[in-house]
Amino acid sequence: MAIEVRIPTILRNYTGGAKSVEGSGDTLADLIADVDSRHSGLQERLVDAAGLRRFVNVYLNDEDVRFIGGLGAPVKDGDTVTVLPAVAGGAR
Amino acid sequence: MRYDSLLDSLGKTPLVGLPRISPDPTARLWAKLEDRNPTGSVKDRAAFYMVAQAEKDGLLRPGSTLLEPTSGNTGISLAMVAKLRGYQMICVMPENTSAERRQLLEMYGAEIIFSPAAGGSNEAVRVAKGLAAEHPDWVMLYQYGNEANALAHYETTGPEILADLPSITHFVAGLGTTGTLMGTGRYLREHVPGVQIVAAEPRYGELVYGLRNIDEGFVPELYDASVLTSRFSVTSTDALRRARELLDREGLFAGISSGAALHAALAMADKAVAAGQEADVVVVIADGGWRYLSTGAYTGTLEEAEARLEGQLWA
């Protein structure tokens, strides 16, 4: 089983510079724990006691996970998870 | 239609069907043409409301200076309102925004202070907040946290849409300051049971996200996630592709964020078709494509255009 997890620049020191890593799990929480087992410390940057950290956005197949189950969102083979920092971004 | 002045013509924008791009006659897309506002963008609503509220609150005097972190449309809107109401305008913006926006701001008499490209709009917000602290007589209306921004949409955009399309099932817009989605979303949810409020968030290149500490992120103070029912992250490739489709198939020349909103709107329409449900999906066209011409978004192949957009702020 392979789920691609895309890592933002700021967190690539945990992945040896890799832009994306693979993992497995039934839920997003499982997946993060699985990735953390090979890239120690990553989980703590993403998750705190209350859940996903405030300035971290996680997208499952481009959809913000906070609207599709959060850490409990089911994930499956072939899914793509993208992690991005919350930014003002944009030209408004 | 006749108005006493430009500002009176604000809003009341057309809602235009998109029969060619809609996936099915049962899942209809409707474009709310916000480029038909006084300075050509949806931000005119927020700018007018924020200034009007500040005047009511006694914060502004003739000759007052307005300060705002803005890469474009809000600055242009505020500069117009400032000019007509007799205020000075200072815009703080990242140096990597399109030439047309800078030119328009200067034409409206705004002064621009540039913030570094790396760090994007977070940095512009930071710089502006710093300047506001140093100059207490300057007024920072602060589009990211000013409730008058969302109120503009609650009082105008939402009611216009409901009056034109009582059968609305989905409202889709770009997510930036979040004002459009918060204000219109709240209004529609109060009046239309089961309506879906869908955000399309631009996904930029790595330069924009930069190396800022992930704990120093930014979430607009206006943002209340409970107003949304879905939120999508849309790449520049998808946004560009859809903006070009809109032009090719419907003759509508829209900005790139409108392409992002359309991408999310089409996803919702497809879901409705798959579920055998009728849908009337309103998508906000925040501005026309004019301010993005110099980004190269509309020339050459999609791949060439995407490469040119890398590192630029397109929404």
Mean pLDDT of A86-91: 66
- Going along chain A from its start, the domains and CATH numbers come out as 3-85 (3.10.20.30)
* Numbered residues of chain A with Cβ closer than 8 Å to any chain B Cβ: 8-11, 45, 53-57, 59, 62-64, 66-68, 82, 84-92
- Report yes or no: B235 and B256 within 8 Å, Cβ to Cβ: no
Of B43, B71, B77, B98, the active-site residue reads B43
- The whole-number pLDDT of residue B309 equals 84
Looking at the predicted structure, is the pLDDT value of residue A32 above 70?
yes
Residues of B whose CB is below 8 A from A88: 69, 120-122, 124-125, 144, 218, 220
pLDDT score of B310: 81
B171 CB-near residues (< 8 Å, 6+ apart): B161, B181, B184, B185, B188, B195, B196, B197, B198, B281, B282
The pLDDT value recorded for residue B123 is 85
Chain B contact set for A89 (CB, 8 A)? 120-122, 176, 202, 204, 208, 313, 315
Q: What is the mean pLDDT of each run of 10 residues along chain B (315 residues)?
A: 93 98 96 97 97 97 94 90 95 84 88 86 88 96 96 98 98 96 98 98 79 76 97 95 97 96 98 97 96 87 88 72
Domains annotated for chain B, with CATH where assigned, are 6-37+153-303 (3.40.50.1100), 43-140 (3.40.50.1100)
Distance from CA of A6 to the nearest CA of B (A): 12
Tokens encoding A59? 């997208």
Residues 6+ apart with CB under 8 A from B87: B51, B60, B62, B63, B64, B65, B66, B81
Q: What is the pLDDT of residue B211?
A: 63
Cα–Cα distance list, B288 to B32, B180, B264 (Å): 12, 17, 18
Known catalytic membership, residue B43:
yes
Residue B297 CA: distances (Å) to CA of B100, B165, B187, B307, B310:
13, 32, 34, 9, 11
Q: What is the pLDDT of residue A91?
A: 58
Q: Which residues of A touch B72 (CB under 8 A)?
A: 91-92
Task: Please compute the mean of the pLDDT values over residues A17-41 and round it to a whole number.
Answer: 97
* Catalytic site includes residue B32: no
Residues of B whose CB is below 8 A from A56: 214, 217
Q: Number of A:B CB contacts under 8 A?
A: 119
Nearest to B71 among A11, A56, A91 (CB): A91
CA A82 centroid distance within chain: 6
Question: Nearest residue on chain B to A55, judged by CA atoms?
Answer: B217
From A10, A57, A87, residue closest to B211, measured CB to CB? A10
User: Does pLDDT of A89 surpass 60?
Assistant: no
Check CB contact under 8 Å for A82 and B212.
Answer: no
pLDDT for the residue numbered B215: 75
CB contact under 8 A, A56 and B214: yes
The dihedral region occupied by B203, where left means phi > 0, alpha psi between -120 and 50, and beta the remainder, is: beta
Cβ of B214 within 8 Å of Cβ of A88? The answer is no
Give the pLDDT of residue B19. 97
Of A54, A64, A85, the CB nearest to B233: A64
Q: pTM here? A: 0.94
CA distance linking residue B203 with residue B255, whole number of Å: 15
> Residue A29's pLDDT band (boundaries 50, 70, 90)?
very high
Residue B72's pLDDT is: 78
